[in-house]
Structure 1
């Protein structure tokens, strides 16, 4: 009896403020999981108490121990591990989750996403969970969706004030949730007063409006939690590329350069200059038009440039003036569309004056409608060949074999050597 009381006392304290039906449910759960004389097994607990299938429980338990091993604060880690040596702490956490209205299915999903939530301090996360509902007014489904991404932040800090700040900054809870999904909720780990607000002030000093900053950080929210020194380096780098602060492209360039180190920008510009045989100013203009080409590897850029020059027949200067060509996927867009263009031209179904650049710029839906679907009768098999090769799932070594074979055997009297 004393043993049972010792197991249930932490749960009673954590759940004392909850409605009696919720507490009763958690109490029954605790009896079923806490009174066993066998050593505590997180894997077994995930099955019995959280409802995870055995295979998922095994994977989730391993994830919990792997993440624990990465912690550098040894004393703190040992303290946290002690909360997973019995069912007492996990039971209290589950009681809190049930207490704010989450269903068994919701809780299973949340724990599978972040098993370390089971070792969190109930006295810390309890008020934070209640604040999501009572202070922020989030619905139960919204809380469940938030925890799938933001439970780590919930464990680490008081997320309520940060959520209020970011919901106001980005315009809505849904928009914030979409942004959190891009960086696994790391944006909530930044210090608003010491880091985020100074970064916003710095960006405004460089001519960006609050709306510009919100749009910029919607694409790359990590920029807000960088050190102000690093943010300033990104701003200077964007300006050094020749993009004026007043340009609408400035914020896009800042977003791109924030994802790469300053040391990598200069060599990339030098590479483009030498490969395309153009001046520094021309490269800078090209990058300012299409900054997304900067993070691409030199190997990938070289493959695209080689294809456009050798296979399509473009002049280097033409590519420099249209840098968006280098931003398109070689495998999913450039090569498949070039194959389709050559097939249709050889069949007399497409004017020989049609430029490849024009064909590349057309949206996928329109391209398929105008150049694939309408030729299903006159060019049987083209749709299947294009779908197979533009999907990006063709096994390595067999890329574009569908279209190449199609070109070889479907053209009436046209030699495959004339079709690249």
Structure 2
């Protein structure tokens, strides 16, 4: 049976029939809202392949309807009601939290169109745009005038390719819409040695690209160098939050690691700093006391064990006790040789 053009009923609904292998399309006409490029893209990707596959005919729908779906994204092209939340769930598989839903309700179709066009102009593919919006839906709420120069600088100043820009936005779109991240990105590429390493560190600590270079990042790096810590870039890649702490707090971490008995010049010092920076001083003292009590060793012997394996400070008491009991009772290992 041939396709029949959609017709408008008096109750304001558009309805039509396509071949039996396709499906019926029922849309509600709301002239006060405009479709966005995102919604039209969703329609194009979802409807056209199914309509083509439904019939052996060259075009199972009229040229007029095909033109609306495949070419035009203007305001008057196809008055489809646009629900930003519904699109994210249906197209990107993104379920928003209640507080995010209330914030995305204020996103306008016109601003979404502008942001999508901006990302496309930067060279991002359709799949890249969908991935970036899925990672940060509120990007469509950002001001185009604020983001446009930053995106341009990523390409022209930093020299990132379109795929690299897409990967960067997946990690750092939030810092990007909060301000200029180009200067920080350039600094960290030089510090870590490559763009790839910056992405690794930024994925572990998104504050990295928002923190002040002058007040936090540079003073902390200078402090680590002053202490003679080796492999600073590796330490700050594994534990990038060290760079965004207040310098006084970083100094405390260094002192606590040294008090355990690990020399700053030792290759294990960076691992010790990484562990102690993730726990309070009281928790560290409690863990050392637990090791002493469980093994029946002195404080110096417990410190030696931690110097050899700083990671044991981050293991829970239950798991650590289970491991020690296995080594002593099952493996018949003397307590002194457990670590």
The offset of 1:28, in angstroms, is: 3.8
Structure 2 CA distance, aligned partners of 1:144 and 1:32? 31
The offset of 1:32, in angstroms, is: 7.0
Structure 2 CA distance, aligned partners of 1:203 and 1:283? 26
Q: How does 1:25-174 map to 2 (within 5 A)?
A: 28-31=72-75, 35-36=79-80, 38=81, 40-46=82-88, 54=90, 57=92, 59-60=93-94, 62-63=96-97, 65-67=98-100, 83-84=106-107, 86-174=108-196
CA contact (8 A) 1:287 1:293 kept: yes
Aligned twin of 2:16? none
Q: Which runs of 5+ in 1 are unaligned?
A: 9-26, 47-52, 70-79, 324-420
Matched, 1:299 2:299: no
TM-aligned CA distance change 1:284 to 1:308, over 3 Å: same
Tell me the TM-score normalized by structure 1: 0.61
CA contact (8 A) 2:84 2:105 kept: no
Aligned twin of 1:265? 284
1:208-260 Cα shifts (integer Å, max 9, x gaps)? 25xx2111101111110011121111011001101122322222211111111
The offset of 1:92, in angstroms, is: 1.0
Structure 2 CA distance, aligned partners of 1:168 and 1:33? 48
Matched, 1:316 2:335: yes
The offset of 1:296, in angstroms, is: 0.7
Tell me the TM-score normalized by structure 2: 0.75
Aligned twin of 1:193? 214
1:220 paired residue among 222, 239, 247: 239
Q: How many residues align?
A: 275
Higher helix share: 1
Structure 1 CA distance, aligned partners of 2:276 and 2:220? 16
Q: Which runs of 5+ in 2 are unaligned?
A: 1-30, 36-70
The offset of 1:61, in angstroms, is: 5.2
Secondary structure, in 3 states, of the residue corresponding to 1:266? helix
1:347-395 Cα shifts (integer Å, max 9, x gaps)? xxxxxxxxxxxxxxxxxxxxxxxxxxxxxxxxxxxxxxxxxxxxxxxxx
Structure 2 CA distance, aligned partners of 1:115 and 1:61? 11
1:36-94 Cα shifts (integer Å, max 9, x gaps)? 5x4x5213444xxxxxx71x54x52514x54477xxxxxxxxxx76741x301111110
Secondary structure, in 3 states, of the residue corresponding to 2:221? helix
Secondary structure, in 3 states, of the residue corresponding to 1:245? coil
